[in-house]
Amino acid sequence: MVSATTTRLVEPLVLRLSSGKYAIDPPVVLAPMAGITNAPFRTLCREQGAGLFVSEMVTARALIERRPETLRMIAPGAGEWPRSVQLYSVDASAMRAAVTMLGKENLADHIDMNFGCPVPKVTRKGGGAALPYKRHLFSAIVGAAVEAARPFGIPVTVKMRIGIDSDHETYLEAAKSAAALGVNWVALHARTAAQMYEGKSDWSAISRLVEHLKPSGVPVLGNGDIWSGRDGAAMIKETGCAGVVVGRGCLGRPWLFNDLVATFSGEVSRSQPTLFEVREIIYRHAQLIVEYFESEDRGCRDLRKHMAWYLKGFSVPGELRRQLGMVESLSQLRGLLDSLMDQPYPVEVGAKPRGRTSHGRPVTLPYGWLDNPDELPSIELEDAFSGG
């Protein structure tokens, strides 16, 4: 929490939970990322200062079918609160049932809805960033979630992109609709689905959305190209958004949240861990993942994808880097990490883009999807993201 004597860059963001008000102070949110933001990674980010930490995206249908892996994905880490779950669905009935389940069984304190995913296996079913184009379907799904959550005191938020592409921008109208239906905030990733993760995000779109939603009083959170605390501060200053959502910037860098908290608190120092400090974060991450999966083999395999992100910019011999990327046990990992030579944080490389850099491409959509935004889909839509 920021002290009362510190000059604030932005006010806390308040979530009204069934148990009372929760102040996200400063308003820094860990974005849901498939295969990344499981309970171990959320724990690391929480320890570094993230104010809210959202689960990997899960489908409403998989949840109500009680698939074991989906239930694992929404399970909180030790001491994790509030429990935030991101839901995805292309069906209002399934969304209502999933939210009702979360409420009745006390499985979540906050629900975020995904309308920003650009990957083909989601958009080809009309989901993710494709869905807001169908304005009536979008309103039906958001309305179902808000209504189902209300009796349990669960706040609902939405995350979206600018639109399908530059010719089919949906964010202003969709955000206004969501605000009218009662969501607590709208988070905008300032790219279109067609852009994927290419180029620079358009922060001016965040500014426009802030102005657009001012009459409603619904806050806007900004997302896109936050690689340092200074980037977060710049986004707040340039756009007037009420907080930031961090995704790829924290891959292999959970301490980014510490940097953001310090910057938002008016501090000038930056979080720049040495390689010895990073190696201990890696090992803690490994221990948490092994405990989470209840399997040393599976846990170490899951850690491998993080290794290149953690070591980015550091001088590590090629063979040692390769061995770390193929680690099989905690004891092997400990030995490899102990063979590293300490060195200062690589500032020039460490704060640069990382993670997915997919080039832009036409969005995969259901046949005839763009014919009429007012027309409800005549095809049978199904939840398309089988991973959860």
CA pair distance 202, 276, nearest whole angstrom: 37
Query: Are the C-beta atoms of 289 and 333 separated by less than 8 Å?
Result: no
Both structure tokens of 343: 């060195």
**Residue 241 annotated among the catalytic residues of the structure:** no
Residue with structure tokens 């239930």? 71
Longest pairwise C-alpha distance within the chain = 62
SS3 254: coil
Both structure tokens of 181: 């239906």
CA pair distance 26, 46, nearest whole angstrom: 13
Both structure tokens of 311: 């070591």
Residue type, 9: L
CB atoms closer than 10 angstroms to residue 182:
16
User: Whose CA is closest to 50, among 30, 34, 36?
Assistant: 30
Q: What are phi and psi of 82, to 5 degrees?
A: -70, 155
SS3 246: strand
CB atoms closer than 10 angstroms to residue 358:
12
Do β-strands 20-24 and 13-17 pair in parallel, antiparallel, or remain unpaired? antiparallel
CA pair distance 265, 192, nearest whole angstrom: 32
CA pair distance 55, 53, nearest whole angstrom: 7
CA pair distance 191, 247, nearest whole angstrom: 13
- Looking at 117, 241, 250, 300, which residue is catalytic? 117
Active site residues: 117
